[in-house]
């Protein structure tokens, strides 16, 4: 891609001047534990401004933002999570969770009380490195998610800002971070797409997946991950990254953005300015980025530039200490990183959303103070506030007391509403597209192209009966592989035979099986360097389509065409002659 040549060196590229809004410091005596706000009656629909016929999304947004009350303005920049799989009908346990979180019983009541502009759907699994800040789960299956999002939109439509749709987002990265799993098409991980090395396959698969999200009522995906993995192989990012080469990651990120947004779902580049070159986990501490500004320009920023050039509508700020730019300050709270670099030097005009405000680096300040600081730094949406009532009241207090300039808040809300009106113009497909044959085939093509052989003669089929084993009780993936092998005509036995051993996320050297004929990495491939197996393969994912692609290779019906997108000590990127190097 020719445009990537300019992406490699960021300094001096697309410099743009713009007037910067004044930032006022928070008063030292800010209230840290304000009470929950009283119930709020949304403004009637008649209070909404009527923009001129043919007005653009930006014009409609500006007109609406200019007419909103303080409370409605504040609500539009908050995007918490809620307890419950329904907007209005929750279990006693979920009711208690919502009461503790926000002083309400249901998600719909949360939307009404805090005049919320958005909500994130959350969930986690055992392999999920982001599970630390996922307090609940409200994604069970495709039908349930559609009913939930419909109920949330109905609650939001009653607000003064209800002429624009609610933003409903989730972290559907695919691979280890996949919120909605049941009844939908699942893609291989980002690293799997990087191994396949074909942005066209990536774009097609993400277009299919994006169409399904749109059908479910999810209009914002907090993906793709634009982080480039460094030599340390950041474990919290791992296979969530497309790889270690900035140029190759850039082409993959751009493909994912184009695919998602062609389906009417807003893509989010994360975690700006890059989480891959640190071994720290920003869920529990503040990781430091020690590289120079020149190294950032060469090694971390290119995928963000490529994603911006592809039209990404959101960028997520990371809780990262960028020492070359604003040492000691998390990027989420750094005006130098978000306003000067991201907006000024990279020219990003879309919505900036924080990483979870309930993560440790954001909790160094009380929730209200943190909310004001994050908006003043340049964020437009505050994701998962640690304490919703405190964040809400803190923003109101900052607005009325002068710590949060009104112009900054109106600017943020105008960007949010512009995005909403743009998304409202999209036509979502019907539920019949969810899990369709065409979508599954797009995912399968990407997964098959990802399978990589790092040791052993390329193209050799297994001989004799096969036994499949797995570390860490990964019975689901093991079962999928057994079924796929049998469908391919391979005899599978429960003992004896040729052993194919699966390892996944978080598995250490002790989970390798000595003497296994084949060891397969279903996450990052680094562990393969410690295996004694004569044949080493990587799928980078444990999804059903990835196991089907693996089975085709093991049965000799397909060649492992992938190439490891990260270096593995002592091993080539591929042991297949056509892919070696």
Q: What angle do CA 148, 264, 445 make, to 5 degrees?
A: 100
For the chain, report the end-to-end CA distance as a whole number of angstroms. Answer: 22
d(CA 419, CA 423): 6
Quick one: three-class SS letters along 399-441?
Answer: HHHCCCCHHHHHHHHHHHHHHHHHHHCCCCCCHHHCCCHHHHH
Tokens of 518: 């084949």
- Identify whether the C-beta of residue 375 lies closer than 8 Å to the C-beta of residue 77: yes
Q: Nearest-CA neighbor of 240 among 540, 521, 513?
A: 540
The candidate with the shortest Cα–Cα distance to 165, out of 428, 431, 354, 417, is 417
Which residues, 6 or more positions from 41, have their beta carbon under 8 angstroms from its beta carbon?
none
Active-site position among 355, 386, 507, 523:
355
Q: Is 355 a catalytic residue?
A: yes
> Does 271 participate in catalysis according to the annotation?
no
Strand pairing class (452-455; 535-538): antiparallel
Place of tokens 């499949």: 468
Q: Helix crossing, 388-401 with 406-424: angle to 10°?
A: 130
Which helix (H) or strand (E) segment holds residue 156: the answer is: helix 142-156
Please report where in the chains the tokens 């990964």 appear, as a residue.
474
User: Alpha carbon 424 to chain centroid distance?
Assistant: 22
- What are the angstrom distances between the C-alpha of 507 and each of 173, 190, 236, 275, 412? 21, 19, 14, 22, 42
C-alpha to C-alpha distance for 409 and 380, rounded to whole angstroms: 8
- The CA radius of gyration of the chain, in Å to the nearest whole number, is 24
251: its two tokens: 């082409």
Question: Cα–Cα distances in Å, from 532 out to 184, 455, 456, 507, 509?
Answer: 37, 10, 11, 16, 11
Tokens of 169: 């987002």
- Copy the structure tokens of residue 98: 């919502």
Q: How far, CA to CA in Å, does 386 sit from each of 87, 330, 359, 392, 437?
A: 21, 16, 8, 11, 41
Sequence-ordered list of residues with C-beta below 8 angstroms from that of 420, at least 6 positions apart, any chain:
61, 117, 164, 165, 166, 167
**Backbone φ and ψ of 270, nearest 5°:** -145, 155
Q: Are the CB atoms for 381 and 79 separated by under 8 Å?
A: yes
CB-CB neighbours of 461 under 10 Å: 11
Secondary structure letter of residue 178 according to DSSP: B
Catalytic one among 277, 283, 319, 501?
A: 283
Residue with tokens 């009780």: 473
Q: Which residue has the tokens 């980025």?
A: 289
Known catalytic residues are 283, 355
């Amino acid at each position: 891609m020719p445009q990537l040549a300019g992406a490699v060196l960021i300094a001096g590229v697309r410099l743009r001047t713009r007037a910067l809004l004044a930032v006022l410091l928070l008063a030292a005596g800010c209230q840290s534990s304000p009470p929950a706000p009283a119930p709020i009656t949304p403004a009637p629909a008649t209070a909404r401004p009527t923009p001129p016929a043919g007005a653009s999304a930006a014009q409609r947004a500006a007109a609406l933002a200019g007419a909103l009350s303080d409370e409605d303005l504040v609500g539009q920049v908050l995007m918490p999570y809620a307890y419950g799989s329904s907007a209005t009908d929750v279990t006693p346990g979920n009711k208690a969770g919502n009461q503790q979180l926000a002083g309400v019983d249901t998600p719909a009541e949360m939307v009404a009380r805090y005049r919320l502009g958005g909500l994130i759907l959350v969930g986690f699994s055992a392999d999920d490195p982001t599970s630390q800040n996922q307090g609940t789960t409200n994604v069970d299956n495709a039908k349930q998610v559609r009913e939930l999002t419909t109920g949330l939109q109905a609650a939001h439509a009653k607000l003064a800002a209800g002429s624009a749709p609610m933003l409903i987002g989730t972290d559907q990265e695919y691979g280890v971070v996949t919120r909605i799993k049941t009844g939908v098409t699942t893609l291989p991980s980002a690293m799997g797409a990087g191994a396949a090395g074909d942005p066209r396959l990536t774009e097609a698969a993400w277009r299919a997946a994006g169409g399904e999200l749109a059908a479910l009522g999810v209009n914002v995906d907090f993906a793709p991950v634009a982080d480039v993995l460094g030599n340390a192989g950041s474990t919290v990012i791992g296979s969530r990254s497309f790889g270690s080469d900035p140029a190759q990651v850039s082409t993959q990120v751009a493909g994912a953005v184009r695919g998602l947004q062609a389906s009417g779902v807003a893509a989010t580049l994360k975690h700006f300015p890059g989480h891959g070159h640190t071994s720290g986990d920003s869920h529990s501490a503040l990781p430091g980025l020690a590289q120079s500004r020149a190294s950032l320009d060469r090694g971390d920023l290119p995928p963000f530039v490529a994603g911006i050039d592809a039209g990404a509508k959101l960028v997520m700020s990371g809780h990262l200490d960028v020492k070359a730019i604003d040492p000691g300050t998390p990027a989420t709270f750094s005006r130098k990183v978000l306003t000067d670099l991201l907006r000024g030097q990279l020219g990003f005009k879309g919505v900036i959303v924080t990483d979870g405000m309930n993560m440790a680096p954001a909790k160094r300040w009380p929730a209200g103070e943190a909310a004001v600081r994050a908006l003043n730094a340049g964020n437009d949406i505050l994701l998962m506030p640690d304490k919703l009532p405190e964040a809400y009241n803190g923003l109101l207090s900052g607005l009325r007391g002068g710590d949060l300039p009104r112009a900054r808040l109106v600017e943020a809300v105008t960007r949010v509403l512009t995005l909403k009106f743009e998304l409202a113009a999209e036509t979502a497909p019907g539920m019949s597209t969810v899990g369709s044959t065409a979508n599954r085939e797009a995912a399968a093509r990407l997964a098959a192209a990802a399978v990589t052989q790092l040791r052993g003669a390329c193209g050799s089929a297994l001989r004799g009966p096969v036994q499949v084993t797995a570390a860490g009780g990964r019975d689901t993936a093991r079962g999928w592989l057994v079924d796929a092998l049998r469908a391919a005509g391979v005899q599978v036995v429960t003992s004896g035979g040729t052993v194919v051993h699966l390892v996944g996320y978080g598995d250490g050297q002790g989970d390798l099986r000595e003497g296994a004929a084949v060891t397969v990495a279903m996450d990052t491939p680094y562990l393969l360097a410690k295996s004694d197996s004569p044949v080493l393969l990587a799928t980078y994912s444990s999804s059903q389509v990835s196991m089907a692609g693996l089975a085709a290779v093991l049965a000799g019906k397909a060649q492992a065409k992938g190439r490891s997108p990260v270096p593995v000590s002592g091993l080539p990127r591929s042991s297949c002659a056509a892919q070696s190097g």
